[in-house]
């Protein structure tokens, strides 16, 4: 860019904000672009934060790989496996607060929970472990006694039996789970509550679940259709979240495009207003290309300011939400999603991509009117009366 174009561009930018006819529409354009960029960054940051927190919740609450088999497996030679546990999941009805409540009865191994290793059968009552949420929901505490109605799988003929249980321990880490009780596998088998067992695997690096699943199948080919990892189990849910984020992104991008059209009209008005100066510049040797560049840069400057303001405001807002309790003070209830804290995430990629999209939209909105008007016969523009 030569000094002539730079000098004229800077002069026009100053004049743009000095003259009221241009300054008011220009400020409106800057404001609309800033709001659009701000909205898009905040919304996508919240949706991305929600996705990350949900994934983190899944990784903390559920196994990373499940193997549906009754046979014992030796998985010690497969790297990346943190722990394995044979378990089972069956269902029963809990009579509490004058209502029947469907609950899950989950088995665990002797070494799985130290709190339960010392628990013993008390007469006809078998020890179980529950989560804090479960205890609060049904008004239970340690040593409380309950009765459940469950299917008896020990007989050839399936029947329903009453099982007496007592709360041996309440584990605060079992938060946000479904209505579930935990019972030792041996006790569960003894009571006839086990229909079938499977193996749960937790990994050191959960995102390697697909790779490790393939290694398990290579070691045990018979398990080809019996191994499933957490990413595969939740693939539909994750795809739905990505589709939702994409659809909202496209909608909010149209707001940026609409804001950029304001610059289109501003540039048209500005060119018409400066027609006499355009004639002078033409006589001084300015080419059509130079003039198109000048007015395109003027419009691009407006978009750059608006985009910069939007990015700064969104960055400050995200910082405040993450580091203060401002969202909690608004009494926004997100407990339904069973995640900790407001779901928002700072992503430099969003700032870069959204800024680039905004500047491209503004560049086109500035270049198109400049090219269409100034690339024609300038004499007709200069002589035209408005």
Question: Which of residues 210 and 385 earns the better pLDDT score?
Answer: 210
pLDDT score at 64: 93
pLDDT tens-digit readout, 236-265 = 988 988 898 888 888 888 888 888 888 888
pLDDT score at 386: 47
pLDDT tens-digit readout, 174-196 = 655 578 899 998 889 888 888 88
∠ Cα 47 48 53 (to 5°)? 100
pLDDT score at 121: 85
Beta strands 126-131 and 180-184 are antiparallel
pLDDT score at 116: 63
Q: State percent of the chain over pLDDT 70.
A: 87
The helix or strand, by DSSP H or E, that contains position 159, with its residue range, turns out to be: strand 159-171
Q: Which two tokens stand for residue 87?
A: 């378990």
Separation CA 150–CA 192 (nearest Å): 9
Separation CA 166–CA 150 (nearest Å): 16
Of 89, 45, 36, 97, residue with least CA distance to 318: 45
Q: Which two tokens stand for residue 249?
A: 């992104």
pLDDT score at 338: 61
pTM: 0.76
∠ Cα 85 223 61 (to 5°)? 35
Given a cut of 80, is residue 153 above it in pLDDT?
yes
Lowest mean pLDDT among 210-219, 232-241, 243-252, 318-327: 318-327
Q: Where are the domains of the chain?
A: 3-57+237-383, 65-232
pLDDT tens-digit readout, 58-115 = 888 889 999 999 888 888 889 999 989 899 999 999 987 777 889 999 998 876 566 6
Given a cut of 60, is residue 337 above it in pLDDT?
no
DSSP H stretches of helix in 139-200: 185-190
For the residues 198-208, what does the mean pLDDT come to? 93
Mean pLDDT, the chain, rounded, equals: 84
pLDDT score at 178: 74
């Amino acid at each position: 860019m030569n000094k002539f174009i730079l000098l004229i561009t800077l002069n026009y930018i100053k004049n743009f904000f000095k003259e009221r006819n241009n300054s008011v529409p220009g400020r409106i354009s800057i404001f609309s672009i800033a709001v659009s960029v701000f909205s898009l960054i905040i919304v996508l940051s919240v949706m991305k934060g929600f996705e990350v927190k949900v994934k983190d919740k899944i990784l903390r609450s559920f196994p990373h790989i499940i193997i549906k088999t009754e046979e014992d497996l030796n998985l010690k030679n497969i790297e990346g496996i943190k722990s394995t546990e044979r378990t089972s999941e069956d269902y029963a009805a809990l009579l509490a607060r004058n209502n029947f409540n469907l609950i899950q009865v989950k088995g665990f191994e002797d070494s799985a929970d130290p709190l339960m290793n010392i628990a013993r059968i008390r007469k006809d009552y078998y020890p179980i472990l529950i989560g804090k949420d479960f205890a609060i929901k049904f008004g239970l505490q340690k040593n409380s006694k309950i009765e459940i109605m469950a299917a008896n799988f020990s007989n050839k003929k399936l029947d329903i039996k009453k099982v007496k249980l007592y709360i041996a321990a309440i584990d605060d880490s079992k938060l946000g789970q479904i209505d579930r009780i935990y019972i030792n596998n041996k006790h569960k088998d003894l009571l006839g509550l086990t229909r079938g067992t499977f193996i749960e695997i937790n990994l050191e690096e959960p995102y390697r679940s697909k790779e490790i699943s393939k290694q398990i199948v290579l070691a045990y080919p018979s398990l080809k259709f019996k191994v499933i990892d957490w990413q595969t189990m939740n693939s539909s849910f994750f795809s739905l979240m990505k589709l939702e984020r994409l659809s909202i992104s496209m909608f909010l991008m149209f707001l940026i495009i609409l804001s950029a059209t304001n610059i289109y009209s501003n540039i048209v008005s500005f060119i018409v207003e400066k027609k006499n100066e355009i004639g002078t510049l033409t006589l001084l040797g300015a080419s059509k290309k130079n003039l198109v560049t000048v007015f395109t840069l003027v419009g691009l400057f407006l978009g750059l300011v608006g985009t910069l303001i939007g990015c700064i405001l969104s960055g400050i807002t995200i910082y405040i939400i993450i580091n203060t309790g401002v969202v909690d003070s608004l009494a926004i209830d997100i407990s339904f999603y069973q995640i900790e804290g407001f779901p928002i995430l700072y992503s430099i990629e969003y700032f870069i991509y959204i800024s680039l999209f905004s500047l491209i939209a503004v560049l086109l909105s500035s270049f198109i009117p400049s090219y269409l008007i100034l690339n024609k016969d300038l004499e007709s523009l200069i002589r035209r009366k408005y």
